[in-house]
Structure 1
């Protein structure tokens, strides 16, 4: 590659092959902020759903503990049983919250990039151990941008939390004058409002970050025109790609051929090994055209399609073999076959006239 080609501006969108290779290496557009925001909301909603049970069970446990705190049997056996019961209770209350965070975090990841299995991101690379390269990454424009982005996120989340607390100052001041249950309900309402504000801001940050990550990913994978041309040449030279292209072309030609059978004038058969469908338009002044042909299994399919479309079928082995061997699909019949085909068409038209 010449220096001019190496320095060519990358203006072209990444090809499907380039995108697939990047995905195989684990290089995808993904926002950890969006995953964190969805996980936060998962914890928030799960905790809100279980908060009533959490508070009631905690109060019941405290009342039970205080009532038995001076029990001689409890003193003799130690407080291990009491604390063990507390751990069991809190574990049963916390696991739904943690499970919700895990499930929603995984779901947010799958929604962004789908399922990917790649070991490339964790493969050891000597370049990562280079101290000079590490310093370069630390003081690069990318690092500066990430620092500014982190500060902006911190300020936005801090603003959401501060404004939420400021709006509930009067309620918080009333907590000291409220009774136990009323105080818990009041604090719960304040925490709900605060978490909702912070969560919405966090989701907004994550959404913006995801859109930016997609833009950055697309930009990093852009290609020069020379790279696109080289990739196209490589793809054309690949035997597997050529085979797939030929198979695709064959399937398209077969579909088109079967769609033309209902328009045929007659299907001439061997009668089992060959089938050739001809279309003749007297007004056009041209010779009959082969619109479908096939042997063995394909011939049987052509015959079946002709029967379904009520196209006349004429068993003429000699004519069928000659047409199959000498005339390509979509071509007019040659002059040497005019007489034989004319006899077949005359029989078809006379049969139609008799009907």
Structure 2
């Protein structure tokens, strides 16, 4: 997408982008680091177990070349001879292979960690495309690999010449040594030269590993548009989410307005706030807020209340306190019990009076008992 839009990859990769890349097998890898680990630890393993391997090989060859007539013609004895001859080689060879295998695993997972991807292992037609193969051969990455190869060859070849010069007389001295000392000594010289040559690749690895990490991070960088698109795909389009929230608020408002006819009283500010209360002793131990609103919604609550003969009581302080301390469906705070009880008592007495069953109630006090911490 960066190529299509002309945007530069300036944004850091998101965690989703990194996870998707790992699933595709795209992680930072340094072949030079893995090769260096394998070669160095192979040399170390050869130094540790080389003498055992040399002695085992010497004894094996000596034993197999000194078979008598019975051992040669008796197949059962031949297997016994092979078993005894190979027994000395099993442990040193097994340890050598183990060290090399362990070094291969560590060296190849040290930079990007362990990762297995079926997607990366599956065949892809793009990998078999001749045109893309030519592009890879003559691309920037191929040029870097060529430079690394020339540098490796130069370092190893130059250091190999120095090592041969240093070990020249010691190598010549091997011709006058008797076996098995000569074999052990030859392997020792070979192992030290091998280790020294392998250490020259540390220079290449020290350059290649940081570069591969940087290059991998650079390839994962995203354009600003890609970040926006990913956010939309994962979190949803902000416009759609806003529309959903508006629809939810409208549905909640409609349900709330439908409950207003069941209210016992609507307390008002009188113009900006409206709160509808219902006291159902069978369902709740205290009056509940079944609707509330400000401005236009407050006016709508009052209109519905008037249309359904729900009493409306003006009490600005109580209305503001109920609006700011409760939500629809909540019971009123305990600290407002007294104030709300006075309002409900007045409403119930007024209903009795309107039905001709009682005296006209005393008008409510302008200042109802509302704690200072609940005043708004």
Structure 1-normalised TM-score? 0.60
Partner of 1:318: 334
Partner of 1:116: 115
Shift of 1:190: 2.0
Shift of 1:181: 4.8
Shift of 1:122: 2.0
Shift of 1:185: 4.8
1:216-256 Cα offsets, whole Å, 9 max, x none, are 111212222332333344444289xx9xxxxxxxxxxxxxx
Structure (1 or 2) with the greater helix fraction = 1
Task: Name which of 71, 75, 83 aligns with 2:72.
Answer: 75
| Secondary structure of the corresponding residue to residue 217 of structure 2 | helix
- State how far apart, in whole Å, the 2-side matches of 1:96 and 1:227 are: 50
- State how far apart, in whole Å, the 1-side matches of 2:91 and 2:60 are: 14
Shift of 1:20: 1.8
1:153-193 Cα offsets, whole Å, 9 max, x none, are 22222223222222111211222223335534542442232
Shift of 1:61: 3.7
8 Å CA contact 1:171–1:186 kept in 2: the answer is: no
Partner of 1:99: 98
Shift of 1:57: 3.1
8 Å CA contact 2:42–2:99 kept in 1: the answer is: yes
- State how far apart, in whole Å, the 2-side matches of 1:46 and 1:336 are: 91
1:48-85 Cα offsets, whole Å, 9 max, x none, are 2222322333344445445x43x221233379545565
Q: How many residues align?
A: 254
Partner of 1:260: none
- State how far apart, in whole Å, the 2-side matches of 1:187 and 1:118 are: 44
Shift of 1:35: 1.4
Partner of 1:166: 165
* Mean CA deviation greater in 180-189 or 20-29: 180-189
Gapped runs of 5+ residues in structure 2? 242-332, 339-366
8 Å CA contact 2:28–2:111 kept in 1: the answer is: yes
Shift of 1:321: 8.8
1:181-223 Cα offsets, whole Å, 9 max, x none, are 5534542442232122112122332332211111111121222
8 Å CA contact 1:8–1:224 kept in 2: the answer is: yes
Gapped runs of 5+ residues in structure 1? 243-316, 323-334, 343-355
Residues 4, 61 of structure 1: alpha-carbon distance in 2 compared, 3 angstrom cutoff:
closer
- State how far apart, in whole Å, the 2-side matches of 1:159 and 1:190 are: 18
CA RMSD of aligned residues (A): 3.6
Structure 2-normalised TM-score? 0.57
Partner of 2:207: 208
Residues 53, 127 of structure 1: alpha-carbon distance in 2 compared, 3 angstrom cutoff:
closer
| Secondary structure of the corresponding residue to residue 116 of structure 1 | coil
1:83-121 Cα offsets, whole Å, 9 max, x none, are 565455444432221121112211233332223231111
8 Å CA contact 1:319–1:340 kept in 2: the answer is: no
Shift of 1:149: 1.9
- State how far apart, in whole Å, the 1-side matches of 2:33 and 2:153 are: 15
8 Å CA contact 2:44–2:195 kept in 1: the answer is: no
Partner of 2:312: none
1:96-151 Cα offsets, whole Å, 9 max, x none, are 21121112211233332223231111222222333233233233332233223223
8 Å CA contact 2:9–2:224 kept in 1: the answer is: yes
Task: After TM superposition, list the pairs within 5 Å mapping 1:127-276 onto structure 2.
Answer: 127-237=126-236
Partner of 2:253: none
- State how far apart, in whole Å, the 1-side matches of 2:369 and 2:194 are: 86
Shift of 1:319: 2.7
8 Å CA contact 2:155–2:200 kept in 1: the answer is: yes
8 Å CA contact 1:164–1:193 kept in 2: the answer is: no
8 Å CA contact 2:13–2:221 kept in 1: the answer is: yes
- State how far apart, in whole Å, the 2-side matches of 1:178 and 1:16 are: 63
- State how far apart, in whole Å, the 2-side matches of 1:192 and 1:336 are: 97
Shift of 1:339: 3.1
Residues 91, 7 of structure 1: alpha-carbon distance in 2 compared, 3 angstrom cutoff:
same
Residues 36, 340 of structure 1: alpha-carbon distance in 2 compared, 3 angstrom cutoff:
same
- State how far apart, in whole Å, the 2-side matches of 1:195 and 1:45 are: 9
8 Å CA contact 1:319–1:341 kept in 2: the answer is: no
Partner of 2:371: 339
Partner of 1:14: 13
